[in-house]
Amino acid sequence: MAKQVNDETPPSKPAVGAPGASGFHHLPVMCDEVLEVLSSGPSGIVLDATVGGGGHAAAILAANPDISLLGLDCDDAALTAAAERLEQFGDRVVLHRSAFADLAGAMGAAGVESISGFLFDLGVSSPQLDCAERGFSYREAGPLDMRMDRRQRLTAAEVVNGYEEAELARILYRNADERHARRIARTVVAARPITDTARLAELGTRGHSGPGPSSWWPSCQTHLPSHPDGGQW
């Protein structure tokens, strides 16, 4: 079984309703290109800094039996799925619940001093978008959560309903380069309290004056779960 090195080990099987092996299906992008670079290199440890459901990791490990892998993710549901998917590779895999921002800490906890290659596949994954309860999608009404790491206290609801207008605008403009940041922030603050993603999407679109949520939502989706200095909650 894939080894877990942190104290909060995800269960070997996903909880009912959680996006685990039966629900956390994410097609790894550019898999052939990733394999060309990572599986043909020297033996050693590959760092998958955003292991997700383990798609890239499984392909890398299957392609080169001389490679081991350290997989990081701060999403407990993703690690549950990755542990199941990578179980066949046994002790060639170590999983650690950590954001990629703490690479040094994760490598130290796993006893890894050097790596032979690395992979970062950044962004929100399709399983996170498909689960309305996570609050990442505007297509279905869900709670204003948006936490990649659900151990963190602060949610998007607290940011949207509690931050000053100028602070909201600063988050969207400085972190996401959203040119309509002030207008979106003004519209959101005037409509408080906001309780779900559908309402936020409606208000943001009104403030953005664009064709729909798809034109501006990614900036909220990626950067509302951040302090104004860009650090994750």
Contact 50, 122 (CB under 8 A): yes
The model carries a pTM of 0.81
CA distance 220 to 178: 9
> Average pLDDT of 127-152?
89
CATH 1.10.150.170 domain position(s) in the chain: 131-223
Q: Is 73 exposed, middle or buried (0-12, 13-18, 19+ CB in 10 A)?
A: buried
Contact 205, 216 (CB under 8 A): yes
Task: Determine which of 39-43, 134-138, 146-150, 156-160 has the lowest per-residue pLDDT on average.
Answer: 39-43
Contact 204, 187 (CB under 8 A): yes
For domain 131-223, say whether CATH 3.10.580.20 is its number.
no
Q: What is the pLDDT of residues 55-67, one digit of tens each?
A: 999 999 999 999 9
Q: What is the pLDDT of residues 12-55, one digit of tens each?
A: 333 323 334 445 666 888 999 999 999 887 789 999 999 999 99
Smallest CA-to-CA distance from 76 within 130, 117, 1, 127 is with: 127
CATH 3.40.50.150 domain position(s) in the chain: 3-125
Q: What is the dotted CATH code of the domain comprising 3-125?
A: 3.40.50.150
